[in-house]
Amino acid sequence: MRKPPLEDVRIVAIEQYGAGPWGSVHLADLGADVIKIEDPRSGGDVGRYVPPFQEGEDSLFFETFCHNKRSVSLDLTHPEARAIFEDIVRSADAVYSNLRGDGPEKLRIRYADLAGVNPAIVCCALTGFGMTGPRAEEGGYDYILQGYAGWMSLTGEPDGPPVKTGLSLVDMSTGYAAALALMCGLWSARRDGVGCDCDISLFETAMNLNMYVSTWHLSRGYEPERFANSAHPSIVPFQNFPTRDGWIVIACPKDKFFALLCTELGLEWMIGDPRFATMAARHEHREACVDELSAVLLGESSATWLERLRAAGIPCGPVNDMAGAVADPQTLARDLIAENEHPVLGTVRQIRSPLRVDGRLTELRSAPRRGEHTREVLVAQCGYADADVDRLAETGVFGDVVV
């Protein structure tokens, strides 16, 4: 059997909570050796203590973000810590962090700080606002960034208050962006023998994800507006529709889909009506178009409409709750749910990484206990003797963890 694609990649991760661990966990799922440096002064990664479903230093939140990783307990402010940290970095490919923008400089984990230790090291910093600019020293949190980047102004019903997205999409998207940047830096370092800095921020990721809306605004002064039932700003119909017993999503991003929809709904007259004949015309007459479609769709159940519309080749889908999403036939057919046994939390079931390379399914190891691999990393990877580790433990550099 072929080795995992990133089996020869080692990443030292100074990370906590959501965005940073989300980026590195996908690399771990692809075989990278991700070594979490956990601060014993704060009890390690704060994700260990996120409720609900949390017992002691274990939580289902932490399992989601930190499975398949190793943990080293190390107080980076301790006088003995720098030498230990640099010994770990010597055999690593990357140092990955999510801190405030001034954090990498303070901890001396930028490329300029570590190039003398490992000239090929890639230093990837995920921060709230980047390592420069007037907000570099501010902490960044998903909901705050959704406000900064204008997302909340785009989300919700037309007359309602600003609304966040249902999930922490700024955090998760920035985690993916950081993982991609790290791998690009690693490719360059292995080609040229010289590492680099990667400066990735929640702010810039969120701004970039405004995509064409920001292009419209910057180029033509477009001011976004909200539309009822989560409707697309320019393509009609492309939104949620109520049915007799629930909601479905219908998307007509091409004229041919609109014609098929009208035919299936018995509204063939709309195809030739100049108000609805083109994408631009439907955009101009959005309300009239949606009203005609809605009146018919209310007459049958969601299941009935989905069966009919799918058979006709019209893009559509259910508005699932979480139970419906995880039980969807596609979820089951693609074996998306992984299961493992945790010594404290029992059976843990979660969704596998979508990064399926060479057809390989992600196998999950439980997230590490705090500092679980401290001795293992120092002895096997850095060449320390057990007596060296014992001596260092007496200095308090590992905190309260028994190594």
CA–CA dist 230, 283 (Å, integer): 15
For tokens 């260092």, name the residue. 392
List b or e across 349-375, with b for residues whose CB sees 16 or more CB atoms inside 10 angstroms.
Answer: ebebbeeeeeebebebebbbbbbbbbb
CA–CA dist 146, 193 (Å, integer): 38
The count of residues in the chain is 403
Radius of gyration of the chain (CA): 25
For residue 312, how many C-alpha atoms fall within 13 Å in the half-sphere facing its CB? 22
Q: Residue 378 has what DSSP assignment?
A: I
191's tokens = 């080609």
Could you confirm whether 171 is annotated as catalytic? yes
Given the residues 93, 171, 197, 199, the one annotated as active site: 171
Residue 312 CB-density burial (10 A; 0-12 exposed, 13-18 middle, 19+ buried): middle
Write the DSSP assignment of 6-17 as a string of letters.
Answer: TTT-EEEEE--S
Q: Which region, left, alpha or beta, applies to residue 353 given φ > 0 means left and ψ of -120 to 50 means alpha?
A: beta
Residue 330 CB-density burial (10 A; 0-12 exposed, 13-18 middle, 19+ buried): exposed
List CB contacts of 337: < 8 A, sequence separation 6 or more: 326, 331, 349, 350, 351, 352
How far separated are the first and last CA of the chain, in Å rounded? 34
Cα dihedral sign, 291-296-300-303: negative
For residues 316 and 37, the answer to whether their CB atoms sit within 8 Å is no
Residues with catalytic annotation? 171
